[in-house]
Amino acid sequence: MKRKTKFTGIGLYPVTIESHKEGGYLASCPVLQGCYAEGETVGEAIDNIRDVIRVHIEARKAFGEFVPSVELSPGTEFRFTLPLPYTG
């Protein structure tokens, strides 16, 4: 059973997703050096890069390193583009 975490804000990180010629997708976060993840689908690549970013940030905090981000407080509105694959 997953523990529920109370969030105090949201950190925004740009992510780039590229398709592989062989199949699958590569996601990267350019502002956090070394944050890369793959997935068979766009959704899987997004889930995987989210986990990589989370672990990267936790490690930086543990070592007292600077963590770059754009932070939003609760109640702040933000907009983003959500990729939705379709067939057709």
Q: What is the pTM (predicted TM-score) of this model?
A: 0.74
pLDDT in tens, 5-31: 666 667 788 899 999 999 999 999 998
Rounded to the nearest 10 degrees, how much is the dihedral formed by the CA atoms of 52, 16, 28, 58? -40
The arithmetic mean of pLDDT across residues 68-82, rounded, is 72
Looking at residue 68, its pLDDT comes to: 84
pLDDT in tens, 33-44: 999 999 999 899
Continuous segment of H or E residues that includes residue 65: none
Q: Give the span between the Cα atoms of 69 and 13, in whole angstroms.
A: 6
Residue the block writes with tokens 């804000």? 9
